Amino acid sequence: MIRILKGSLLHTPEKDCFSVHPDSYLVIRDGLVEGIYGELPDLYKEIPVEEFPGKLIIPGFADLHAHAPQYLNCGIGYDEELLPWLQKYTFPLESRYKDLRFAETAYKRFIADLWRAGTTRASIFATKHLPATKLLFELFRESGLGAYVGKVNMDRNAVPALEEKTAESLAETEEFILGARDPEDLVKPIITPRFVPCTTPELMTGLGLLAEKYDVPIQSHLSENRDEIELVKKLHPEIGSFTEVYETYGLLKRDRTIMAHGVYLDSKEREILLDRGIYIAHSPQSNFNVSSGTMPLREYLDSGMRLGLASDVAGGHSLSMPHNIVTARAASNQYWVDHPECPKARLSEVFYLATKGSGAFFGKVGSFEPGYEADLLVVDDRYGESLVERTLEERLQRFIYTGDDRSIEKRVVRGKDLPCPFADEDGVRHPA
């Protein structure tokens, strides 16, 4: 099946600059990008063209790290730092997902608002509850969005309602994997130890073995907060660093692991992560909200580390990847003020992290290069256009900084239009 869209296309095949195609044709065959053309080749002359004059067509956004059950806590509790915030706000909310009726209502709201925000792929933490995690998985399948979904594992240092028995945690994780494995599915399982302080060596070892046995990727948290790092040192004094704890227990799966944050990585940790091709999910809103710190984004970009952008709700307060692009640039600007030898990140670089950078974890996603999956947004950004003439790059920048989900006219995943999932469940439009 061939589909052709016409509009002004912008994407970032490389992070250093935008590739801009004014008033051009995007040809999609069987859900994959076939090419971009200024003039439509004769081969396609008989195929109807969907025209979007004056509008922008950009890749769909990919969120590399978000907590679906925490979405109801967005904006709550940011007077606290990470560890007390988890105990006071996050763990009590996550305990409620034992109730499947509550879970269904909350998860439908999360997925609908993810769609509204223009996110077409996401890597998601659920909770420790197997039935609710299975439900979230099926709701993502129903939505048409692409996702990795993980049952959270935690067998120490949690509230009683969330702390698991090690063997039970492993058995339920294996059950979830076996019921969710389909290489062609847009929704896939991912192994999800919460983080080192909440997972014993026995649990981490078992999860690493499951990742190898079933060839499933892994996601967790790394080096987010100074108190967290000190706690890891107390729990594992025999191991040199936070990163090396994951390495010791088999949880740095080459090219298939996401570690959220990475704010305070030493040189050896960076070398390990770079060598293993580990993805760092940059979560600037969350880092600011729970007072964790500022990641040295320029240093990581220049080192060649794999990076993506993440909302990290509810540490982050917005699912909107444009909002997170803005925060990432603000964080990079402030880091430059304090470290003038470290240049600021450009808009193209952070846009890349929110599209192709994060999208790479899902495959060929986040770009309009031939062979990439056709995930895209049609954006009508034309407020105020008659007052000042803008370049296409300036219009994209204005949408990122001042637009919202109402500017997104169409969302497409693998070449198919996606209507809003679960839009009428509670009669409320939840702002992205």
427 within some domain: no
Taking the C-alpha atoms of residue 37 and residue 138, their distance in angstroms, rounded to an integer, is 38
| Distance (Å) of CA 110 to CA 7, 306, 427 | 30, 27, 14
pLDDT of residue 315: 97
177 within some domain: yes
Tokens of 279: 């993805």
CATH number of the domain that residue 299 is part of: 3.20.20.140
Residue 315 DSSP label: T
Q: Choose the final residue of a domain: 320, 339, 362.
A: 362
Structural domains of the chain, count: 2
pLDDT of residue 388: 83
pLDDT of residue 386: 63
Work out the pLDDT band at 427, boundaries 50, 70, 90: very low
Phi, psi of 285 (to 5 degrees): -60, -50
pLDDT, the chain, mean: 95
Looking up tokens 């999208």 gives 359
- 184 and 245 within one domain: yes
Burial of 234 by CB count in 10 Å (0-12 exposed, 13-18 middle, 19+ buried)? exposed
Q: Choose the final residue of a domain: 340, 362, 384.
A: 362
Taking the C-alpha atoms of residue 125 and residue 221, their distance in angstroms, rounded to an integer, is 11
92 within some domain: yes
Work out the pLDDT band at 424, boundaries 50, 70, 90: low
pLDDT of residue 389: 86
432 within some domain: no
- 396 and 357 within one domain: no
Phi, psi of 308 (to 5 degrees): -140, 170
pLDDT, tens digit (0-9, with 9 covering 90-100), for 121-139: 999 999 999 999 999 999 9
Q: Choose the final residue of a domain: 323, 340, 362.
A: 362
Q: What percent of the chain has pLDDT over 70?
A: 97
- 384 and 346 within one domain: no
pLDDT, tens digit (0-9, with 9 covering 90-100), for 245-258: 999 999 999 999 99
Query: Is the preceding omega at residue 345 within 30 degrees of 0, hence cis?
Result: no
Q: Which of 411, 407, 401 is nearest to 382 (CA)?
A: 407
Work out the pLDDT band at 432, boundaries 50, 70, 90: very low
- 200 and 117 within one domain: yes
pLDDT, tens digit (0-9, with 9 covering 90-100), for 360-399: 999 999 999 999 999 999 999 987 666 788 999 999 999 9
431 within some domain: no
- Domain span including residue 124: 61-362
Contact between 400 and 110 (Cβ < 8 Å): no
Report the C-alpha dihedral over residues 270, 272, 278, 283, rounded to 10 degrees.
Answer: -30
pLDDT, tens digit (0-9, with 9 covering 90-100), for 40-91: 999 999 999 999 999 999 999 999 999 999 999 999 999 999 999 999 999 9
- 249 and 230 within one domain: yes
CATH number of the domain that residue 24 is part of: 2.30.40.10
426 within some domain: no
- 118 and 35 within one domain: no
At position 274, the amino acid (one-letter code) is L
Residue 426 DSSP label: S
- 272 and 413 within one domain: no
pLDDT of residue 1: 93
Burial of 330 by CB count in 10 Å (0-12 exposed, 13-18 middle, 19+ buried)? middle
β partners of residue 258: 219, 279
Q: Is the pLDDT of residue 301 over 70?
A: yes
Contact between 91 and 162 (Cβ < 8 Å): yes
Contact between 95 and 161 (Cβ < 8 Å): yes
- 109 and 11 within one domain: no
**DSSP assignment of 160-216:** TTTPPPHHHHHHHHHHHHHTT--TT-SEEE-BEE--GGGS-HHHHHHHHHHHHHHT-
196 within some domain: yes
State the sign of the Cα–Cα–Cα–Cα dihedral 153, 157, 161, 163: positive
- End-to-end C-alpha distance for the chain, whole angstroms: 32
H or E element in which residue 279 lies: strand 279-282
- 295 and 161 within one domain: yes
Work out the pLDDT band at 162, boundaries 50, 70, 90: very high
- 286 and 410 within one domain: no
- 100 and 12 within one domain: no
- 115 and 152 within one domain: yes
Q: Is the pLDDT of residue 19 over 80?
A: yes
129 within some domain: yes
